Structure 1
Amino acid sequence: MYIDLAIGLILAFLLLSLLVSGINEAFVRLLGIRSKFLWAYLRDTMDGAGDGRSWIPSKVTDVFAKLPFSGHDPRPVHSPDPAPSVVEPMPVDLGPAPAIDMTARLYERLQEIDHPKAARTSIANIPPERFSGAVMELVAAEEDGIDGLLAKLEAIRSPLAGHLRGVWESAQRDTQKFRKGVEHWFDGEMQRLSTLYARYVRWVVLALGAVLTLLFSMDALEYGKTLLRDNAYRAGVAAIAGGGGDGYAALKERCAGAERGLAEPYRCVTESLSSPALVKIFDHAIVSVTMPPEDSADPSFTWNGAAWWDRLVTPGHWPGYLLTVVALLFGAPFWWDVLRRLTGVRGERS
């Protein structure tokens, strides 16, 4: 019975977590937040802040409120053409810092992996080996090789110059070591950027989890009690079916009353067994869905606003709501792994 309780709760948290993840991913993809976040970092790293302000948002409200809707898009313009076979050298002298878009030059070497979704690039992930290859293509266009590229980057005051200079010196001016060093450096930067992005997303998941918990009125404590009662009732029905009388109390409690009809115990048992607690997980949502027993009938939707609001303002449900929100913060992969371990389901091994 308690294993059934654990599986039921884990499955409920998994379903809600999947819903939260799906809404968040749809929002991120629709507004291109992940791609804009990556290219904002590249703007800071390669071109620097043009107006003295960083392209990377510093607050979660900037990432999900300002960055998606700002007209100041950090992404380069999408190009459907493949990368040019000839890389033009940087037309830079050592005079006043010229205006050269290093981010656009990088995109020129990466545009083959782009997808034509909008006017701007949709690249949201750059493999480290591809980035180091693009840097080496820029190096090949310079007459003095790596030293020439570094000198021009320093001339235009690109923040990338300091990073590449450190990698070049650490590689002891060896070209192959330099390429590997750039690859390892960019891989570390992407890991740091992913950690920063995940920190922002965690707040969005918290907000979405709280909203969905309240909309579905998912009280984890009450749902746990419902699971226990449901399991006890089914155990009682099984005991009666096996010839014992130990389950009569559970059957009588569930089927008693004029609304159930004392003359139709089989109908009551059939209806109860076909509607387990898991099916009723969202019965208290603001809009409830009822699945009719007939196969040909369509599901019915019922406005449940009054009952939903009464539950929402009842302090007794608040601890269960809080427990649900905290559980959703662990995410769908966590609950799937727990469910898989508890049930003994194993993934395929290659």
Structure 2
Amino acid sequence: MYQGAVLSVYVDLALGLVVSFLLLSLLVSGVNEAFVRVLSIRSKFLWAYLRDTMDGADDKRGSWLPAKVRDVFTALPFLRDPRPRHSDLPAPAEAGGMPEERTGDSMINLLYERVREIDHAKRGRTSIANIPPSRFAVAVMELAAGQDGDVERFLAKLKAIDSPLYGPLKGAWETAQRDLDRFRQGIETWFDGEMQRLSMLYKRYVKWVVAVLGLLVTLLFTMDGLEYAKTLLRDNAFRASVTAVAEAGPDAYNELKARCTGEDPMRCVTETLSRPALVRMLGQALVSVSIPEQGDPSVHWNGGSWWDRISTPSHWPGFLLTYVALLFGAPFWWDVFRRITGIKGRR
């Protein structure tokens, strides 16, 4: 029985830590997703790549898709919008004529004409954040059809305007041995590989955002993982003492009396058990919310105590533990939670 009780304590401790890390990781993911949606990062990322691929880098400002992490999250969201202007018109029956020279946005507008049926406006710009490889291949074939179906003439136009798209399409055309169906499949395969590479690049940049948000959440809530673990163990010991009082009578009253000195024991026990360790830890955030027994919830500014916790070196190892845990992400902690509790995921 003693081993079972000890095991129960460790399971409670593990579940408490996992749930807290899961909730904070979900908060980080939610803030990141809100940031991405409000600033249309995914859509801008896609169209910046397409501008580089179809029209080439801007002569004055270089690549539309910056190489540095700092530029991606400063220039791309705020300073440069690579997306074409939104249009409510359906795609024309025939693709527009190829430009005579590279103008910086000529080919991208021709592509947008072929895919804008699935678009809706977002602050005057396209909101398309994903183009399936098959749809991109069809759009390219439609552009080639606009040159009387002469792929060689279409490629010559791309070469004349110095479009970076010329190289991949020329290679696909030669590999297909001038077979239109194989040419379309080659374009689809090439673009699918490019989208996978772009997704990996996007995820690399997002990791930096998650790292920054994880640090901010840890410091905002001053979530000391080591202190939280100790609080969980104290709560477990307190519950055990309350149970001992109920089963053994006044002889087991000493620990309970030490916790509730000068208070009504019943009220003290009720209030303590109704405020679990996680609630108490989150109550030490920079701004906390309390819900009294009667009346409306109130918001408290804890600037003084928050700064004391931040500036106390003994809390820093616990902050580091929480921060590293958040870097694993919500999916990791959800999987750990399922394994501990035995919850089976849906197929």
Q: Same fold (TM over 0.5)?
A: yes
Which of 224, 232, 237 does residue 227 from structure 1 map onto? 232
1:269 Cα deviation from its structure 2 partner: 1.4
Q: Does 1:198 align with 2:203?
A: yes
Unaligned runs of 5+ in 2: 1-8
Which of 59, 63, 69 does residue 60 from structure 1 map onto? 69
Q: Structure 1's 313 and 139: CA in aligned 2 closer, same or farther, altered over 3 A?
A: same
Residue 96 of structure 2 corresponds to which residue in structure 1? 88
Residue 331 of structure 1 corresponds to which residue in structure 2? 329
Q: Which amino acid aligns with 2:306?
A: W
Q: Does 1:115 align with 2:120?
A: yes
1:48 Cα deviation from its structure 2 partner: 0.5
Residue 15 of structure 1 corresponds to which residue in structure 2? 23
**Paired residues of 1:82 and 1:112 also in contact (CA < 8 A):** yes
Identity of aligned residues (%): 64
Q: Does 1:162 align with 2:136?
A: no
Residue 269 of structure 1 corresponds to which residue in structure 2? 269
Aligned residues: 337
Which 4+ residue blocks in structure 1 deviate beyond 4 angstroms?
243-250
Residue 314 of structure 2 corresponds to which residue in structure 1? 316
Per-residue displacement from partner, 1:31-82 (whole Å, max 9, x unpaired)? 2222111111111100101306111111222111122221x42111111122
Q: Does 1:184 align with 2:189?
A: yes
Residue 142 of structure 1 corresponds to which residue in structure 2? 147
Residue 340 of structure 1 corresponds to which residue in structure 2? 338
Q: Which amino acid aligns with 1:309?
A: W
SS in 1 for 2:300: strand
Distance 1:188 1:19 in 2: 32
**Paired residues of 1:12 and 1:281 also in contact (CA < 8 A):** no
Residue 291 of structure 1 corresponds to which residue in structure 2? 291
Q: Does 1:44 align with 2:52?
A: yes
SS in 2 for 1:68: helix
Residue 69 of structure 1 corresponds to which residue in structure 2? 78
Higher helix share: 2
Q: Structure 1's 249 and 168: CA in aligned 2 closer, same or farther, altered over 3 A?
A: farther
Distance 1:297 1:144 in 2: 75
Per-residue displacement from partner, 1:264-286 (whole Å, max 9, x unpaired)? 21111111111111222312111
Per-residue displacement from partner, 1:161-212 (whole Å, max 9, x unpaired)? 1011112222232222222221121111111111111111111111111112
SS in 2 for 1:69: helix
Q: Structure 1's 242 and 132: CA in aligned 2 closer, same or farther, altered over 3 A?
A: farther
1:336 Cα deviation from its structure 2 partner: 1.5
Q: Which amino acid aligns with 1:275?
A: R
**Paired residues of 1:76 and 1:121 also in contact (CA < 8 A):** yes
Q: Does 1:6 align with 2:14?
A: yes
Distance 2:242 2:214 in 1: 37
Q: Which amino acid aligns with 1:274?
A: S
Unaligned runs of 5+ in 1: none
SS in 2 for 1:90: coil
Q: Structure 1's 86 and 345: CA in aligned 2 closer, same or farther, altered over 3 A?
A: same
Distance 2:281 2:110 in 1: 53
Distance 2:109 2:161 in 1: 15
